[in-house]
Amino acid sequence: MAKYRKLGRSADQRKALLRSQVTALLYNGRIITTEARAKEIRKIVEGLIALAAKEKDNFETVKVSAKVPRKDKDGKRVKEVRDGKKVTVYDTVEKEIKKDMPSRLHARRQILKVLYPVTEVPAAAAGRKKGTKKVDLVAKLFDEYGPKYAGRSGGYTRIIKIGPRKGDAAMEVVLELV
């Protein structure tokens, strides 16, 4: 017996399909797909959430000083003339950052192997690059889902059958995070 469903696709197509649906599930919280796909996606998502829950508190907070360019009221960099050249003015700012411990860093990289990068596009700027922002799904896993599911030992997803699809009568389900 096979350890996974082949879903009628070659290995690279199957991996891409599962990665995209796992990314969509973690970004949106629920997706509608076929039953066979949902059961495969569930295996991957459960592992990622378990990893995030295990490593959720495994970091240290470090204070660092950073040079940040000074900006004017329009958001443009302030420049001043030194020795006949225009030079950007920098301010030193103290920041607190989270520094991952080695096991959390490894978990982060394991999660990044599975997830695709997500770019959020506002409705007003549809089709334009300006105004888009990258979503850090790994941070969402560690900061949101990790603490939420820390008390649970598995069973982070739920499959609800919604009936056969009209075109090919494949059983459709809603896969959602509990």
> How is the chain split into domains, by residue range?
11-58+101-177, 59-100
User: How far apart are the C-alpha atoms of 10 and 43, rounded to whole Å?
Assistant: 19
Cβ–Cβ < 8 Å for 65, 94: yes
DSSP code string of 95-156 = EEEEEE-HHHHHHHHHHHHHPPPEEE--GGGTT-STT-EEE-HHHHIIIIIHHHTTT-SS--
Statement: residue 51 has pLDDT above 80: yes
60 in helix, strand or coil? strand
User: Which residue reads 């607190």 in tokens?
Assistant: 96
Lowest-confidence region among 1-5, 102-106, 107-111, 162-166: 1-5
- Average pLDDT, stretch 140-147? 95
How many percent of the chain have pLDDT more than 90? 85
**Rounded percentage of the chain residues whose pLDDT exceeds 70:** 99
Predicted confidence band of residue 52 (pLDDT cuts 50, 70, 90): very high
Q: What is the mean pLDDT of residues 56-80?
A: 92
Predicted local confidence at residue 1, as pLDDT? 57
Q: What are phi and psi for residue 164, nearest 5 degrees?
A: -75, 150
> What homologous superfamily is domain 11-58+101-177 in, according to CATH?
Ribosomal protein L17 (3.90.1030.10)
Q: How far apart are CA 120 and CA 134, in angstroms?
A: 6
Cα–Cα separations (whole angstroms), residue 112 to 44, 123, 154, 176: 13, 27, 21, 21
Instruction: Kindly tell me if the per-residue pLDDT of 126 is higher than 80.
Output: no
Q: How do residues 87-98 score in pLDDT, each as one tens digit?
A: 999 999 999 999
Phi and psi at 101, nearest 5°, equal -75, 165
User: Average pLDDT, whole number, for the chain?
Assistant: 93
Q: What is the pLDDT of residue 123?
A: 80
Check: CB of residue 172 under 8 Å from CB of residue 33.
Answer: yes
Looking at the DSSP bridge assignments, the partners of residue 118 are 135
pTM: 0.85
pLDDT at position 29 is 95
pLDDT of amino acid 124: 80
Query: What was the pLDDT predicted at 75?
Result: 85
Return the pLDDT at 40. 97
**Residue 103 in this model has a pLDDT that exceeds 60:** yes
Query: What kind and span of H or E run contains 54?
Result: helix 35-54
Q: What is the mean pLDDT of residues 109-138?
A: 88
